[in-house]
Amino acid sequence: MTELPFAYGGAPLRGKLRVEPEDFFVDEQLGFEASGSGEHWFIHIEKRGANTGFVAKQLAQFAGVTERDVGYAGMKDRHALARQSFTVLAKKGQDTDWSQCAIEGVTVLSALRHARKIQRGALRGNAFVIRLREVDGGRDAAAAVVRTIAAQGVPNYFGEQRFGRGGANVEKALAMFAGKRVERAERSILLSAARSELFNAVLATRVADGSWQVATDGDVFQLDGRSAIFGPEPIGDELRERAARGDIHPTGPMFGRGELRTTDAVHALELAVLATHPELCAGLIAAGLDQERRSLRLMARDIQCEWDGADLITHFTLPAGAYATTVLRELVDWH
Please answer whether residues 167 and 143 qualify as being in contact, where contact means their C-beta atoms are separated by less than 8 angstroms.
Answer: no
Cα dihedral 182, 159, 224, 198, rounded to 10, equals: -60
77 assigned to active site: yes
**Cα torsion 282, 285, 291, 292: sign:** negative
Find the radius of gyration of the CA atoms of the chain: 21
DSSP 118: P
3 state DSSP class of 231: coil
Give the helix, strand, coil percentages of the chain, each rounded to 5. Answer: 35, 30, 40
Please count the CA atoms within 13 angstroms of the CA of 277 that sit on its side-chain side. Answer: 25
Please answer whether residues 11 and 331 qualify as being in contact, where contact means their C-beta atoms are separated by less than 8 angstroms.
Answer: yes
Q: Which amino acid is at 127?
A: A
Please answer whether residues 49 and 105 qualify as being in contact, where contact means their C-beta atoms are separated by less than 8 angstroms.
Answer: yes
Please answer whether residues 261 and 227 qualify as being in contact, where contact means their C-beta atoms are separated by less than 8 angstroms.
Answer: no
Catalytic member of 23, 69, 77, 219: 77
Backbone angles phi, psi at 175, to 5 degrees: -65, -40
Residue numbers annotated as active site: 77
